[in-house]
A and B are shown apart, each in its own frame.
Chain A
């Protein structure tokens, strides 16, 4: 079973700053099967990035994904007030079908 480790646990930044979130896998992950989600309190997760670097429909271009193998990154180029939330990476396998990282909280500094 592949384990995803996200870092840092919490990122304290100001609006307008750049956020860099890391997701490290215990084994190599196909880039096709790495996704990122955003979750705000009381809401369902929202798909941001799939295939490691493709933005989902309606996602602003300040969100970008990169990486391959065991190291993946979600970058928010300039934080907007609505971007403060928890972010999860996820990979697809056969069993378990989906594995999630533990999440990174982006909070207002």
Chain B
């Protein structure tokens, strides 16, 4: 069974940093691209970042470019999102999602809540 479990969310002050993790199991993690998607309270889905299976290709949304860094450790079956210079508008539930074949997310984690507030 495919499972994605996010962790690392919490309350952080504006300007602070946080590192999210996504632990994958039930599939060959190293064969799949991965994405982070976020959802602000009461709002829709916003794609955040993409990383290819070998980490050779990485994309970011303009809203997080230069502040967030996506990475992965295929030996540990884990995906990460390092978030720096956090802003109020980064408050959201952050989901990791497996990329079926560079087109859509076929499996999603349950999400981890990040709250940026003073």
Contact = CB atoms under 8 A, between A and B. Distances in A.
Task: Name the interface size band of chain B.
Answer: 20 to 34
Nearest to B109: A44
A35 interface: yes
Contacts of A8: none
B47 interface: yes
Contacts of B97: 45
B104 A47 contact: yes
B104 A95 contact: no
A100 B59 CA distance: 16
A33 B61 CA distance: 18
A43 to B, nearest CB: 8
A96 B108 contact: no
B106 A100 contact: no
A44 B111 contact: yes
Residue among B102, B108, B111 facing the most chain A CB atoms (10 A cut-off): B108
A50 interface: yes
Interface stretch (A11-19, A20-28, A86-94): A86-94
Task: Name the interface size band of chain A.
Answer: 20 to 34
Contacts of B106: 47, 50, 56
Nearest to A43: B110
Contact of B104 (A43, A92, A102, A103): A92
A35 B104 contact: yes
A35 to B, nearest CB: 4
A96 B61 contact: yes
Contacts of B59: 94-97
A46 interface: yes
Contact of A99 (B35, B47, B50, B109): B47
Interface of B: 35, 37, 44-47, 50, 59, 61-62, 95, 97, 100, 102-111
11 contacts: A33-B103, A37-B45, A43-B110, A44-B110, A45-B45, A45-B97, A94-B59, A96-B59, A97-B35, A97-B47, A100-B46
Given A33-B103, A45-B105, 4 more contacts: A45-B37, A90-B45, A96-B59, A101-B44
